[in-house]
Structure 1
């Protein structure tokens, strides 16, 4: 009872605690993610709002820098009174940029050529300005346009500096746009009252910030700047802990490299997490109390049958005085004892049943069972013989006397063979093997209506059996199989036929598998020759595919052997194939097939074994022929490729196509396509396009021909197509290409 209570409490407590812990951490993390997402969204809005302002100002300043008025102002002399109206027009253009909506406080233009400045105060000489050194520094740097921070808090501002002319390496002047920091702060909106949003430049100087409970100086520390740089190394936004109380969402601008920060306190998150923690804790306590109550009630009901079972097993009398009874252990011991006794009785009955079944199979094989009782007794001994066809298979070791095994190991070999046969053949398709003399006998059945399918399945299984015996025992087997019968009463005839097949094995050819119906000569006189396989063989040799030719030859030999031809008949058929292969070949490959003074036919008829014939045919005929044809094909490919290249080089300025080449050379276009691809490495159309491109480059470089004339010479319908292809391939237009050549 006590153990049941402990188990019930543990089963009820552990899932509840695990679920409560998971719920607490899951919802806490979810709140954190929601706050982060909200702050990222607000910070993104701030970034978009400010960068829209910056890019608008940049756009207007760029328009002004490209205007004719400002380009002419580069050479104005302020002492020239005739330019009074021009200076007035320039002042008007600068004042138009100074709009209230964009928060611009000052717009100025500095002329470094004639050393004068124009701003809200008018035109002054650069040497008379107190900020001469600052204005002069604006011309330094490699960038034509940049945003800078200027001044300190209280009077600080951000400054857009754009050099003029925009494309010049040495500027003649600069345009400056000044925006006070307080204008930027107007456009920043924090997420909460205690939150702080701010902007810092790429040097982590604070440009603008909102009021909040977090105190931040004019510049971030180097340690914090390094953490921000590392966090944004592979992303555009990140969440970083600022201190023990505050987190910050930071984004880096892709426009000017500034950083946008949103600092928020984790106090609210912690407050929500504590609420979830208490709710989860109370829920877990309630579930635990309910679990304890349910466990107490259920254990009382469950324990009563166990108690009665314990008493029935004699547990009370077996427990000594003063000892606490272990009901489950005692009940388990008694049940194991009963099962052990039952298994022992079952093994005895099973052994006797196996002996009776084996005795029945002996009588069945030797014809001692009446035909009318065979089916009935088979069902009595639980033999599944509901087959439409059956055969008897006899297996013996053909070379065990010459092997390493002694006669005393004969029984072990037969036992190993029996196990292999049982593992290989499905249980529903066989009966248990029986050792009779030198043979291992097995009755095999099938539900196949087609006799040919039954025979083929027997061939497959016996091949696997031979492979297993050879791999595990290092021996070879001979297998005799009877004719097919429909009734179990004919098993004794099938047994005699299987044994007779092994006794009359052919001594000319070493056949591991012998069917009784194949023992009589003359049964397969008219052998159907595999013409389709022969065509596949010839085609494979012509296509230089040795693997396919090898497979076709093996298919022909397997076909003929399946038709029960002997190795001499196989030689005759292979002579037919040999004549077909070398009959129309030149004298050179035929000399290579000679071995001394013997022709290929003489070599063939000296062979006796089927495997030797097949191996000789592959290595002495197929491989040399394929190699010679491949060498001839390579030579022909090279000649054709050179002719096609010559046509391209001579007629590139005409409407030359692959079809016209084929017509000129008297070959099929598909054949020329494969040959050219193999010889050159690219398609014909790609090569002629690249060649025309190289010729057009030479014409652009060495002649004064116009682009239209070059396009016509390259056989383009119009110059636009030529320009489009040239730019797509080279990256620049033909005109730009010629201009760069002239510059270099």
Structure 2
């Protein structure tokens, strides 16, 4: 028995040693796997945060650069230059009105602008659309101080309103650009105020979730999103914020721990610096939100380790039944850890349970792979949108192109932007049907001639990335190839879908990293359908002007305004056509100038309406005309809209106002005649009363009353004479004198001519004495 016991003990030691030798490597493998996967996931999260920060920085920089381009275009306006050189701006109201129109159009063209000012350096005055011409004392003192020390032609200025709240107050970002005369001497400044909400509107559109964004300017002002409060104290109270303010690095990434009153929290901080204006963008997100996937990885690794341990111990079961209890306990533990996995439907032995959990793990893996494959089209579309709008790092771009099946076979990349014309008024369902039909047509044509991908953009455009050509092809061959593809797409869409398509084409590039430049150029080329028309292929190199002398058709505008005063719709349409022809004569054509010219024409027309009818004019239109003109895609659409929807109601209002004014004028004259019929009245006297030419007044009076002025005066005086004859005992000669007749014979002759009776006969028939005698009889 002792030998058997020793053998059993030895056998048990061997089994335990073998089990330990199997379990220890499994645990080390699980820990290593967890650390590697956690590190890889953190690297991916950090890179994703960096890409997001880069997109935010580029979009805000693009907004600031776009604002500066608009301001720069207006800064060279001869109207502004001439106005800023005036010694007394009040002496030239016409130039003042032109300046107000330009400033109003700038408020319309610049998104999220708070205010626009023109500072006149010589007279220390400012002009604004809302305040008119006022003293420069109304400008912020920081702005005036910056202008007084300015040495650059333009600069950005940021400032914060006073507030005692740690995160209170609002920031205003101001663009100040100098206006110089012919001798390069500064005569004034354009001042554009942009509220910080404009920047955080861009951030909100990114849908960043539980993340707080902070922007630090070179003047150490801190812009914060008031909707997020991860950092509850004053920003300068956090050491990492102070370190980032002092940092000169381009990028940083790390985890910071902040302490509250009773809690501590780890935050992941991303920092990036803009090369355009040295603004620093800081993203703060709770570390716990980012690491939530780690718990799932941890559970999976623990489950996998338990499965391997279970297999090791199961081997021991074959050697000794004494381990069955231990194995059962371990299996129960594994069940509790893998509680989310499906449980066996029937009783199984230990090996059956091992097989069941192995199959469950395989099923879970296949499900994850299938989910990734099903979401691949959406992931690919999102990546293409990023590729079209952002600059991606070259080190990782190639891998992402291969992963998302973006073609890289050929060296050249071109981008087309397709817009389906005349879909306004269609239902959303019909628009989607047209767009997806056009996408399928484009894919078929691209597949025949080159390689590429086609996606729908959020604004219902169709973006096409074409990979084509070889390094030996000449520039004309590469451009010709893209033109053939673009024109074939346009013709097939028009033939099969019975709608026209306008296609913008950017320049080709030998690097996928510059696809966003080609897409931007294609979008810009598409804008030139405003001057070139719809249903065309527009190449940026052919439609974009190298330089343009923009001349506004002032004479035609004045003719239109004069016809508005006269209420002549036909002549308004005639001069509108001349206005459009004058714009199209510019060489080269510039779509921004054309759209801005129509915006200025609308502003001048509305100002004329408001002056003519201050009561009804402002409420004449129920929608914003400036927004509507920017939705029109071609010049023809703008002109047709003006002729059909804008100028007819204006003319109707002016004519209705003129008729009412004519009626009021005649009523005033009639009231004057009724009160002073016994005075000397004449046509020149009454015309002078209403400040009108005699001939014009005479024709207007006859048209309104139905008789001439002299006939009406005679008729009214005869009525008054009849009243006096019937109700008074005045002599006929006295009544004649009161009616302003030189002698009674003229009066009697005129009275009989009007009534058919002499005054005496009329008094006899109409006097109260006659009525009394008849009553006595």
Report the TM-score when normalising by structure 1. Answer: 0.36
Q: Return the index of the structure with the highest Cα Rg.
A: 1
